[in-house]
């Protein structure tokens, strides 16, 4: 029984990995379910067993992508660093700076478009934003507690961080020549540093 459960979990993970790759490359509407199954090395019937619809596949692919990205984020085993340095690194880790992060962003764009039109996907969007909010919130709260940050309204600051990442990030994702990733990074940090009461330099 354990071996069978492990095999099912492995197949599901392969499907999600394949979905992330193909949806990021081609968009959810243009990717045939059979192609995702082929990329994952499973049968279409097994894919349908795990995911009843494209929406379900997109929603879980985004959750899976978030979990994978979490393996490179700052964790409890990292060397202690000032809260400001950690927030700045967290911002970097949320921008489309390389292949994996660009794929994550393309999935987010798919979610935005589909959630705007399909109410059943909106809870997924809200849940992922809540997790991002909590992630930043923990570090900002530590900075406030230590006296490193002077924040009048931490929740508002976190909302602003996420909005800035979304706005500048989408311009960097589309290779806007006026907004390279380096400038996006610095513009976001300058605004956030002011909210946190720390020097941007």
**What mean pLDDT do residues 168-190 have?**
96
Predicted structure pTM score: 0.83
105 located within any domain: yes
Give residue 128's domain range: 75-196
Task: State yes or no: pLDDT of 64 exceeds 90.
Answer: no
Residue 41 is assigned to a structural domain of this protein: no
pLDDT, one tens digit per residue, over 102-131 is 988 988 898 888 889 989 889 988 999 999
Domain count, the chain: 1
The reply to whether 5 falls in a domain is no
Provide the mean pLDDT of the chain.
88
- CATH number of the domain to which 158 belongs: 1.10.357.10
% of the chain exceeding 90 in pLDDT: 54
User: Is pLDDT above 80 for 135?
Assistant: yes
Question: Is 21 within a domain?
Answer: no
- pLDDT band at residue 73 using 50, 70 and 90 as cut-offs: low
pLDDT at 75 over 80: no
Residue 6 has pLDDT above 70, yes or no: no
- pLDDT at position 2 is 54
pLDDT at res. 74: 47
If pLDDT is split at 50, 70 and 90, which confidence band does 5 have? low
Can you tell me the mean pLDDT for 153-158?
95
With the C-alpha atoms ordered 141, 166, 176, 98, is the resulting torsion angle positive or negative?
A: positive
In a domain, 106, yes or no: yes
User: What mean pLDDT do residues 127-153 have?
Assistant: 94
- Residue 110 is assigned to a structural domain of this protein: yes
What's the pLDDT tens digit per position in 7-63? 566 889 999 999 988 888 888 888 888 899 999 999 999 999 999 888 888 888 888
């Amino acid at each position: 029984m354990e071996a069978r459960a492990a095999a099912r979990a492995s197949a599901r993970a392969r499907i999600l990995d394949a979905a992330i790759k193909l949806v990021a490359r081609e968009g959810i509407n243009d990717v045939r379910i059979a192609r995702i199954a082929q990329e994952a090395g499973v049968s279409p019937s097994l894919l349908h067993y795990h995911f009843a619809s494209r929406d379900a596949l997109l929603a879980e692919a985004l959750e899976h992508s978030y979990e994978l990205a979490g393996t490179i984020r700052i964790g409890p085993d990292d060397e202690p660093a000032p809260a400001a340095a950690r927030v700045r690194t967290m911002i970097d880790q949320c921008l489309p700076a390389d292949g994996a992060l660009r794929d994550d962003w393309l999935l987010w764009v798919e979610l935005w478009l589909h959630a705007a039109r399909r109410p059943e996907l909106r809870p997924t969007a809200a849940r992922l934003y809540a997790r991002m909010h909590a992630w930043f919130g923990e570090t900002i709260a530590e900075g406030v507690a230590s006296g490193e940050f002077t924040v009048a309204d931490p929740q508002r600051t976190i909302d602003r961080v996420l909005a800035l990442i979304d706005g500048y990030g989408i311009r960097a994702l589309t290779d806007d020549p006026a907004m390279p990733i380096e400038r996006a990074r610095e513009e976001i940090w300058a605004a956030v540093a002011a909210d946190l009461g720390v020097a941007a330099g």
